[in-house]
Structure 1
Amino acid sequence: MKKYIIIGSIVLLSFILIGVGYSYYIYHAIEKTVDKMQITFEEPGQNELVKTEETQDVLTFLLLGIGDRPQIGDAGRADSIIVASVNPKAKKVLMFNIPRDSRVEIVGKNKMDKINHAYAYGGIEMTKKTVERFLNQPIDYVLQTNMEGLTQLVDVFGGIEVNNEFAFDQMDQYGKKNHHYDKGLIQLDGERALHYSRMRKSDPKGDLGRNERQRQVLTILLNKMASLSSVLKMEETLNIMGDNIKTNITFDKMKSFFLQFKRDWKEYQIQSEEIMGSNQTIHGVYYYHVPDKERERISALLKEHAALGAIGN
């Protein structure tokens, strides 16, 4: 289960960097980077989902991995949609992927479509609202990561070594270059790491297998970032983060999270779930169908997780 700590770790990435060294220069370099990453959302309306008094301390994060598209003017799609609910009182994290082809109501478009299309229609905000409607739960914080940023980060650290479960080939997004990956421990540069994390068609687990590889690569990068000792590499890393990550988590809030979690984060128990469904084709288009009962089950799990540690539970 340790590998599933990645989402909470990504949320705390900037806090870890702060903890590396409190020099005046580095502190303000991080602050400047976070300011560059900032996004804001509209004020919630009267019909928006709100927290109850019982769930005020529970933090819910939405991580979006955006895949770039070669077509001009294409905003991209949310290739990875991960929800993590952090309960500080119970020291537990509930985490799951929402399959990107899930057929859902796209909030603001009044139509049913693949959930990853919400980003193309209305960016981060429409995706956030669509996920909230799908789960019937509010989302506190969103982190959008550009998957192309992986290439730059991997190269900054001189490549990474991963343990590949099976051999496969993967073409680049332009269909021009083939990358072969042997089974076992393999060394990857930035470009190969990107395509390694994107492969799904040759994986018997499909999107689930790709999600695992993405978490694997990100976990290795996180460990490298956490051990940064070179100010030069830290500057390069911060610049890449500023160009490829967007979030509504403010610098002050990040500092607060760092102080809150730095001592006991390793004590947290991570529970991972999978959203079960079936393949469905409508008018020649493939979708992942999530039954209402399954959606209600996940929503109920979120509520139960949020109630843990409260008086009487």
Structure 2
Amino acid sequence: MKRKRTSKKKVFLWSFIVLFLLGAGIVSGYGAYLTDKAKQATTSSQLELKRGDMSKKRDEIVDPYQDNISILFLGVDDSEKRDYDSNARSDAMVLATLNEEEKSIKLVSIPRDSYAYIPQMDKMDKITHAHAYGGVDYAVSTVENLFDVPVDYYVRLNFNAFVETVDTLGGIEFDVPFDMTEKNSDDQHGAIQLEEGQQDITGEEALALARSRQYDSDQARGKRQMEILQSIFDEASDMKSVTKYGSLIDSIGNNMKTNMSFDEMSALHNYVLNRNISFETMQLDGEGTYINDLYYFKVYDDSLASIQNELQTHLDLTQPNDTIDEKNKKDSSYAKKSSSEKEEDKDY
């Protein structure tokens, strides 16, 4: 029987542990050591987007110290068994917008099977396939097209980082919603077995819970992923975990790619430290459907439009959001572009 623990006081998203640790400020008696490790980890993780430093949806490069910004978090399984021409599918996608003045954060969980337009491929497909087709460049442009907002930064983490983070923390407390039997990260069938109820879970168990697709819906899966990631931050934010930050930074640095510099990550430290921070999670509504005998998650137009508007407003973008009909016309017009115009888009 696994021991029970009292719940912690904070909730947040695991992805922001990355920014908190790598962009951390001073932790008494430990800050200089962590800062040096974080700088090294961030430097070794740099992978710029082909478009350059600025989204085509921006008029100028953003400064995270004073501007509202957006970050796309990608969770991928890049093991040999699931690799697709060196670009794994993105198994988890979360778009975050950060409002500097309000010190508020909005997070959108994007179902991996969402039926979305991939500009570089000039076709509709599952959004998870964007990364498989063309890595972070395709994933970023697809998300920008879906929500009609700029994606300023990305953080790409593989599942080794997820497992190692949970295990380094000594496990996390989680209320398992159902009895389950799943594969582990090595694809061993039945290796993970959990019973319903509140308990401590390991990294492999947390990963199995986050990835499982056979027990509930795509939307429930996205909500479950959010809850697991929040539980990880609960544990990491406990002061007794401070001595583990060095190992956590090493694990994250070894399993991460990003276009954020250490200085840019450091700008986000104030969001984590702000006790009055406003934090909101959102999820696309839709329904499963089959197109040419393949399963997709068809996002409802009104749900997409609502979240588009929320993100636009949160980023304080002056250009009004396109309607769904106008957006569809834009997507259709792409197919009519000349070959040279399409090649220019692909460079992005």
TM range (shorter): 0.7 to 0.9
Report the TM-score when normalising by structure 2.
0.76
Tell whether the 8 Å contact from 2:22 to 2:41 is kept in structure 1 after alignment: no
Alignment of 1:235-274 (within 5 A): 235-258=246-269, 260-261=270-271, 263-264=273-274, 266-274=275-283
Q: Deviations over 1:272-306 (max 9, x none)?
A: 22212222211110111124443332211112223
Give the drift of 1:33. Answer: 0.9
Partner amino acid, structure 1, of 2:208: H
Equivalent of 1:197 in 204, 207, 210: 210
Report the TM-score when normalising by structure 1.
0.84
Partner amino acid, structure 2, of 1:171: K
Partner amino acid, structure 2, of 1:32: Q
Give the drift of 1:136. Answer: 0.9
The residue number in structure 1 matching 2:114 is 102
Equivalent of 1:127 in 139, 160, 163: 139
Query: Please, which moves more after superposition, 14-23 or 101-110?
Result: 14-23
Query: Please, which moves more after superposition, 92-101 or 218-227?
Result: 218-227
2:124 aligned with 1:112: yes
The residue number in structure 1 matching 2:155 is 143
The residue number in structure 2 matching 1:311 is none
The residue number in structure 1 matching 2:297 is 288
Give the drift of 1:270. Answer: 2.0
The residue number in structure 2 matching 1:91 is 103
Gaps of 5+ in 2: 1-9, 318-348
Tell whether the 8 Å contact from 2:114 to 2:297 is kept in structure 1 after alignment: yes
How far apart are the structure 1 equivalents of 2:78 and 2:246?
25
The residue number in structure 2 matching 1:215 is 226
Tell whether the 8 Å contact from 2:62 to 2:152 is kept in structure 1 after alignment: no
Q: 1:238 to 1:186 in 2, by over 3 A?
A: same
Tell whether the 8 Å contact from 2:118 to 2:127 is kept in structure 1 after alignment: yes
Identity %: 27
Partner amino acid, structure 1, of 2:271: F
Tell whether the 8 Å contact from 1:148 to 1:194 is kept in structure 2 after alignment: no
Q: Deviations over 1:111-164 (max 9, x none)?
A: 211001001111111100110011111011111111232222222233333221
After TM superposition, which residue ranges in structure 1, 4 or more long, deviate above 6 angstroms?
Answer: 52-56
Q: 1:18 to 1:114 in 2, by over 3 A?
A: farther
Give the drift of 1:39. Answer: 1.5
Tell whether the 8 Å contact from 1:54 to 1:307 is kept in structure 2 after alignment: no
Q: 1:10 to 1:213 in 2, by over 3 A?
A: farther
Partner amino acid, structure 2, of 1:219: Q
Give the drift of 1:13. Answer: 3.3
Give the drift of 1:52. Answer: 8.3
The residue number in structure 2 matching 1:48 is 56
How many residues align structurally?
302
Tell whether the 8 Å contact from 1:13 to 1:222 is kept in structure 2 after alignment: no
Partner amino acid, structure 2, of 1:247: T
The residue number in structure 2 matching 1:11 is 19
Give the drift of 1:4. Answer: 5.0
Q: 1:21 to 1:208 in 2, by over 3 A?
A: farther
How far apart are the structure 1 equivalents of 2:177 and 2:28?
33
Alignment of 1:31-46 (within 5 A): 31-43=39-51
Tell whether the 8 Å contact from 1:64 to 1:144 is kept in structure 2 after alignment: yes
Q: Deviations over 1:79-100 (max 9, x none)?
A: 1111111112123222211111
Partner amino acid, structure 1, of 2:170: G
SS of equivalent to 1:125 = helix
The residue number in structure 2 matching 1:66 is 76
Give the drift of 1:40. Answer: 0.7
Tell whether the 8 Å contact from 2:182 to 2:189 is kept in structure 1 after alignment: no
The residue number in structure 1 matching 2:343 is none
